[in-house]
């Protein structure tokens, strides 16, 4: 994709969605090029466009790719190929697919672009956090965090998740707190302006 004579067409719904900003992030950090075709009404419309050959690619979460059709069939038939992961470490289900961090090291991405990536991908790292209001005593916070992690190890929960092809990989409250501090510390005006531009604001 860095050297393609014609950039691949990638389907998306609208500016500001992950289907657009992940592709733009790859352009900014790795020098890839995409022809982003936005305006699809939903992800299933993009899937049909891929199958019809209207577009060549799309961005999505690992959870979605592993959880439902048409992706089960795509994987079974070898129709799709995962090109890059945005996680810091390779997902065990895609051990041969490089992470964006590995590729940034390979292509010597400068620090200013890495700062942009860290800011954008923080939302993915946070996932869907469970939060409490300010002022919760430390001992109560500890109990809530320990209870949540214990629930995430519940055998019945894990069995049900396995049936639905859902990957349960919880992040501890301590790690999320650390991430929040890192993101806050990296909010330089220049980086924020680049984020706004990338998100189409």
**Structure token pair of residue 177:** 């707190």
* Radius of gyration for the alpha carbons in the chain, expressed in angstroms and rounded: 19
- If we measure between CA atoms, which residue out of 195, 199, 166, 201 comes closest to residue 12? 199
In the prediction, which pLDDT does 186 show? Answer: 65
Q: What is the largest CA-CA distance in the chain?
A: 59
* 3-class secondary-structure state, position 74: helix
| CA 197 to each of CA 21, 31, 101, 112, 183: distance values in angstroms, whole numbers, following the listed order | 10, 17, 22, 15, 18
Give CA–CA dist 194/182, Å, rounded: 18
Any domain includes 1: no
* Chosen domain end from 108, 129, 154: 108
Number of domains in the chain: 2
Q: What is the pLDDT of residues 86-132, one digit of tens each?
A: 988 998 889 999 999 999 999 999 999 998 998 888 877 787 888 89
Peptide bond into 70 cis (omega under 30): yes
This prediction's pTM: 0.77
Low-confidence ranges of the chain (pLDDT < 50): none
* Chosen domain end from 69, 88, 108: 108
Cβ(63)–Cβ(44) under 8 Å? no
Write out the residue range of the structural domain in which residue 14 sits. 9-108
| CA 28 to each of CA 22, 114, 165: distance values in angstroms, whole numbers, following the listed order | 10, 9, 33
């Amino acid at each position: 994709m860095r050297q393609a004579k014609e950039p691949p067409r990638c389907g998306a719904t609208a500016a500001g969605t992950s289907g657009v900003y992940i592709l733009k992030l790859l352009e900014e950090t790795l020098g890839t090029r995409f022809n982003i075709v936005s305006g699809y009404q939903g992800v299933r419309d993009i899937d049909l466009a891929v199958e019809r050959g209207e577009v060549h690619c799309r961005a999505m979460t690992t959870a979605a790719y592993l959880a439902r059709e048409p992706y089960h069939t795509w994987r079974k038939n070898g129709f799709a190929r995962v090109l890059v992961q945005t996680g810091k470490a390779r997902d065990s289900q895609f051990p041969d697919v490089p992470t964006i961090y590995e590729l940034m090291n390979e292509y010597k991405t400068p620090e200013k672009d890495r700062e942009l990536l860290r800011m954008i991908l923080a939302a993915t790292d946070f996932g869907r956090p469970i939060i409490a209001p300010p002022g919760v005593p430390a001992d109560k916070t500890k109990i809530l965090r320990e209870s949540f992690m214990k629930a995430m190890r519940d055998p019945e929960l894990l069995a049900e998740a396995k049936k639905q092809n859902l990957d349960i990989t919880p992040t501890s409250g301590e790690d999320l707190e650390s991430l929040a501090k890192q993101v806050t510390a990296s909010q330089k005006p220049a980086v924020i302006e680049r984020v706004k531009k990338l998100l189409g604001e």
